[in-house]
Amino acid sequence: MANQHKITLDESEMPTRWYNVIPDLPSPPPPPLHPGTLQPVGPEDLAPLFPMDLIMQEVTSESYVDIPDEVLDIYRLWRPSPLFRAHRLEQALGTPAHIYYKYEGGSPAGSHKPNTAVPQAFYNAKSGVTKITTETGAGQWGTALAFACSVFGLECEVWQVGASYDGKPYRRSVMETFGASVHRSPSDLTESGRKILADDPDHPGSLGIAISEAVEAAAQVESSHYALGSVLNHVLLHQTIIGEEALLQFAKVGETPDLIVGCTGGGSNFAGLSFPFLREKLAGNINPTIRAVEPAACPSLTRGTYAYDFGDTAGFTPLLKMHTLGHDFIPDPIHAGGLRYHGMSPLISHIYELGLMEAVAIGQLECFEAAITFARTEGIVPAPEPTHALAACIREALACKETGEEKVILTALCGHGHFDMAAYDSYLSGEMVDDVLTDERLADPLTRLPQIDL
């Protein structure tokens, strides 16, 4: 059908394996290091925080990991997710490009985050823990984990970044509806939170601080584990269900993408969409450009340093080799709370260093302009995070209008923005601004990177 909007898969067509890109890369990413010994961390170092099944997935050299039946059963509540052809957006832009978006907003949390929250809760429950702690920025990840914990009978405690906690009160209500308890971060419940509050009682928080608080809380209780919503290999692995489905959907319409675009906070939705296509690219079957889009206010790939750094602000995590702005860099409180992370997934950082992908940074005003165009044509109000990917798609589609190229563009519309209407109010009222991030501000946190002589 020429004007088909939705390319769907039957539940029976849903992929049953996650894809691990590492064995297909020319070299593996540098390992995480123990900050004391500077030796690669072993499974026993991670055991206080994660169940062994997830630790083994973190380091697996297998290309595929079977998705457990219990997880497939929950996935089927919203998966396979639809792939849309954005005909109405294309017409509005007057572009010959074909724009496709894989929509993850139909999940229980309204984003891609349950794709990993469900298996993480499953493996934790299987290992016998009774409670999971976590951080959340925009609230999408906290909501996803709260939902997943409710499914597998686990307690869930969430530290939400202060700026988002204040700006998105109903995200807390959804997390509580799923049974989680939620704290504003920095909080006075942890040593790391108290230290920050002592200097600034109104601190807006950051993902790095919220991670420190959740890790600290988990480490104190034997039956508690911690869960991370992005960055780590096993999280990216779980998200590859997105790209595996998209490959099947593209086969149904007989097209292949020339450009794959995704927003990057810690990198999980971008990896989930693009890694299965990268497999096909490395095998010589297709040759798409793969482009990450980050906020101009938190540009770890485009303006950060590739170095070993902590994943959190207090320095509790192993050292990760990644593109980083420095573990105590506090981004401006832009509306895309899920993109306010100082680092980038080590696996994505490595793939970027290998030259297998590219990155751009875009300011939030252009992103919200793109979101409004998208909402008024396609009828979906995007979460602030994927507005970055949409802005990059629109840039490319307008370039195609100039050149006449019929490029096929694929993006992940990784969440809806129904709890982010304060951000839209700010844009529509003309109050939203793009603050300039100076080189001086970027230089300062880098002076406090861990000093490592390897």
Query: Binding of ligand PLP at residue 331 (CB under 6 A)?
Result: no
**Total chain residues near ligand PLP (CB under 6 A):** 21
Query: Binding of ligand PLP at residue 339 (CB under 6 A)?
Result: yes
Number of residues that this document lists for the chain: 454
Q: How many whole angstroms separate alpha carbon 418 and alpha carbon 128? A: 35
Contact (CB, 8 A) for 107 and 78: yes
Residue of 269, 289, 267, 263 lying closest to 278 (CA atoms): 289
User: Binding to ligand PLP (CB under 6 A): which residues in 34-73?
Assistant: none
- Scanning 5-13, 34-42, 136-144, 325-333 for contacts with ligand PLP by CB under 6 A, the matching segment is 136-144
Q: How near is the Cβ of 113 to ligand PLP at its closest, in Å?
A: 6
Angle in degrees, CA 349, 355, 356, rounded to 5: 85
Query: Binding of ligand PLP at residue 138 (CB under 6 A)?
Result: yes
List, edge to edge, every strand of the sheet that includes 181-185.
Answer: 181-185, 155-161, 131-136, 224-226
User: Binding to ligand PLP (CB under 6 A): which residues in 91-120?
Assistant: 111
- Cβ nearer to ligand PLP, comparing 266 with 288: 266
Among 217, 241, 383, 423, binds ligand PLP (CB under 6 A): 383
Question: Would you state the structure tokens that stand for residue 430, as one six-digit string?
Answer: 């003309």
- The dihedrals phi and psi of 203, each to the nearest 5 degrees, come to -55, 135
Name the 3-class secondary structure at 116.
helix
Q: Tell me the residue nearest to ligand PLP as measured from the CB.
A: 338
Q: How many whole angstroms separate alpha carbon 269 and alpha carbon 251? A: 21
- Cβ nearer to ligand PLP, comparing 124 with 136: 136
- Cα 373 from chain centre: 23
Q: Tokens 């934790």 map to which residue?
A: 124
- Scanning 5-13, 134-142, 240-248, 313-321 for contacts with ligand PLP by CB under 6 A, the matching segment is 134-142
- Cβ nearer to ligand PLP, comparing 124 with 140: 140
Q: How many whole angstroms separate alpha carbon 380 and alpha carbon 148? A: 25
Query: Binding of ligand PLP at residue 385 (CB under 6 A)?
Result: yes
- Cβ nearer to ligand PLP, comparing 157 with 385: 385
Q: How near is the Cβ of 141 to ligand PLP at its closest, in Å?
A: 5
User: Binding to ligand PLP (CB under 6 A): which residues in 233-292?
Assistant: 263-270
Angle in degrees, CA 138, 140, 144, rounded to 5: 150
Residues binding ligand PLP (CB under 6 A):
111, 137-138, 140-141, 230, 263-270, 338-339, 383, 385-386, 414-415
